[in-house]
């Protein structure tokens, strides 16, 4: 297997119900969570009024419309305003995300007419281009056809639009991102041919399914902005050939708005440095770079008490932030983002809302205790709309 040039080979061994209806429930209504639809329509209306959109129309009229549509078809169609609001609030309700201050800025692409697998894949590539924006990353969500009675939604098997392949060597070692072993195997099973010279950062093809049809579409190189890693002082680091992609675009989570499921709704923000420097490149079951970096730094790795891991980790994270900044690619650090999250909490409180947050995800994986998000508790109840794990996961 081809190692990274002059590098550690990057190998690891490694409710309210719809009130006062005189109509009896039809079978269609019985299957659809009408209470969730009504809650959503009311919430949308109330918040629109709160921010001054008085012209949204009467909520009762919209509720009657939704009810009639569900009775007739077993589902209903969101208005463009509902879809946009629903997607943004799903982000606002994502308890694991520290970056929610900018939830209102999410650009929503309405692709509900798209369900054919190759079209879905093509639009995912277009999503990347729009989100990448030459390095000035824009938060974007692309919403494909929803789940409807008698008409299943398309499904994207990739966890993110950009995922690096993992290859198992004859010695049992793994080259690439071990998290994506199962996804790589699936791609190969479906006829993907890895590049002639396999490397640790080979981008996997997009795999989309719909109505028993599957497709395999390569992500064009020019749609994948990547940042080569260098360090402000440790010159040797850039010779390792380590890099990461600029846009984290989660593509396997189900978006649920007002009782409707959108299983294919890839969304992205920009990176916080620690996601790459303290997890993707550092985790033992990912790229596992710390032992190598520790040795190259000349640290005493013979005992844990020298804190060589911690020292290598800090330098790796400096390299990530430094490299993205040098490349003019949007990135944020965990100190700034922790402050911003507290600002977000204050704003939510001022708007009269609770803000669910999962402490174990919000606290950054380095220097937890010196960020302000560490020193408090959060509301934990789950709010809707929201994003949920895929119903059809590929194991990592």
Q: Is 205 one of the binding residues for ligand ARG (CB under 6 A)? A: no
332 phi, psi to nearest 5 deg: -135, 155
As a whole number of angstroms, the distance between CA 6 and CA 390 comes to 39
Give Cβ neighbours of residue 187 (< 8 Å, ≥ 6 apart).
Answer: 165, 204, 205, 207, 216
Q: Are 209 and 193 in contact (CB under 8 A)?
A: no
SS3 190: coil
Q: How far is the CB of 271 from ligand ARG (least distance, A)?
A: 5
Residue 185 falls in the annotated catalytic set: no
Q: How far is the CB of 171 from ligand ARG (least distance, A)?
A: 27
Q: Smaller CB distance to ligand ARG: residue 162 or 175?
A: 162
Q: Which residues, 303 to 322, sit near ligand ARG by CB under 6 A?
A: none
Q: Smaller CB distance to ligand ARG: residue 89 or 272?
A: 272
Over the window 81 to 100, marking each residue x when it contacts ligand ARG by CB under 6 A and - when it does not, the resulting string is: ------------------x-
Q: Is 324 one of the binding residues for ligand ARG (CB under 6 A)? A: no
| Alpha helix segments (H runs only) across the chain | 27-31, 34-50, 59-73, 80-92, 117-132, 181-189, 273-274, 290-296, 308-326, 334-350, 359-362
Q: Is 258 one of the binding residues for ligand ARG (CB under 6 A)? A: no
Q: How far is the CB of 197 from ligand ARG (least distance, A)?
A: 25
Residue 355 falls in the annotated catalytic set: no
Q: How far is the CB of 144 from ligand ARG (least distance, A)?
A: 19
Residue 270 falls in the annotated catalytic set: yes
Burial of 330 from C-beta contacts in 10 A (0-12 / 13-18 / 19+): middle
Residue 100 falls in the annotated catalytic set: yes
Q: How far is the CB of 289 from ligand ARG (least distance, A)?
A: 14
Q: Considering only the stretches 13-21, 206-214, 272-280, 319-327, report the one whose residues sit in contact with ligand ARG under the rule CB under 6 A.
A: 272-280
Q: Are 120 and 109 in contact (CB under 8 A)?
A: no
Q: Is 117 one of the binding residues for ligand ARG (CB under 6 A)? A: no
Q: Smaller CB distance to ligand ARG: residue 82 or 275?
A: 275
The position carrying tokens 């099973």 is: 189
Q: How far is the CB of 331 from ligand ARG (least distance, A)?
A: 9
Q: Is 272 one of the binding residues for ligand ARG (CB under 6 A)? A: yes
User: Taking the alpha carbons of 244, 268, 387, 89 in that order, is the dihedral positive or negative?
Assistant: positive
**Which has the closest alpha carbon to 216: 138, 288, 82, 118?**
118
Q: Is 271 one of the binding residues for ligand ARG (CB under 6 A)? A: yes
R_g (Cα) of the chain, nearest Å = 23
Size, binding site for ligand ARG by CB under 6 A: 9
Integer CA distances (angstroms), 303 to 12, 34, 316, 367, in order: 21, 60, 20, 21
Over the window 211 to 250, marking each residue x when it contacts ligand ARG by CB under 6 A and - when it does not, the resulting string is: -------------------------------------x-x
Q: Which of 269, 273, 294, 385 binds ligand ARG (CB under 6 A)?
A: 269
Give catalytic residue positions.
Answer: 97, 100, 270, 275
């Amino acid at each position: 297997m081809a190692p990274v040039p002059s590098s550690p080979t990057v190998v690891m061994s490694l409710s309210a119900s719809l009130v006062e209806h005189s109509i009896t429930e039809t079978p269609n209504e019985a299957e659809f969570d009408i209470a969730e639809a009504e809650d959503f329509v009311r919430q949308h209306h109330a918040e629109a009024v709160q921010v001054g959109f008085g012209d949204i129309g009467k909520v009762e009229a919209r509720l009657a419309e939704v009810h009639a549509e569900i009775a007739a078809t077993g589902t209903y169609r969101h208005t463009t305003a509902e879809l946009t609001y629903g997607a943004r609030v799903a982000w606002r309700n994502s308890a694991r995300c520290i970056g929610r201050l900018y939830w209102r800025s999410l650009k929503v692409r309405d692709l509900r007419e798209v369900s054919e697998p190759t079209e879905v894949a093509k639009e995912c590539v277009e999503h990347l281009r729009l989100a990448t924006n030459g390095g000035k990353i824009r938060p974007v969500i692309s919403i494909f056809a929803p789940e409807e009675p008698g008409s299943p939604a398309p499904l994207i098997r990739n966890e993110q639009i950009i995922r690096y392949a993992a290859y198992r060597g004859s010695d049992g070692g793994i080259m690439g991102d071990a998290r994506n072993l199962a996804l790589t195997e699936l791609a190969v099973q479906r006829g993907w041919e890895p590049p002639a010279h396999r490397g640790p950062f080979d981008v996997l093809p997009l795999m989309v399914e719909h109505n028993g049809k599957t497709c395999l579409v390569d992500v064009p190189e020019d749609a994948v902005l990547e940042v080569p890693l260098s360090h402000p002082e440790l010159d040797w680091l850039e010779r390792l050939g380590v890099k990461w992609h600029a846009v984290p675009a989660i593509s396997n989570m189900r978006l649920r708005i007002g009782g409707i499921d959108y299983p294919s709704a890839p969304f992205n923000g920009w990176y916080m440095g620690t996601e790459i420097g303290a997890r993707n490149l550092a985790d033992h079951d990912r790229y596992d770079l710390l032992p190598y970096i520790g040795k190259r730094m000349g640290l005493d790795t013979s005992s844990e008490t020298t804190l060589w891991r911690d020292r290598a980790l800090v330098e790796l994270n400096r390299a990530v932030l430094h490299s993205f900044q040098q490349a003019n690619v949007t990135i944020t650090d965990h100190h700034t983002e922790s402050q911003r999250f507290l600002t977000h909490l204050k704003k939510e409180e001022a708007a009269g809302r609770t803000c669910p947050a999962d402490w174990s995800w919000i606290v950054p994986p380095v220097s937890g205790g010196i960020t302000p998000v560490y020193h408090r508790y959060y509301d934990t109840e789950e709010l809707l709309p929201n994003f949920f794990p895929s119903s059809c996961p590929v194991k990592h």
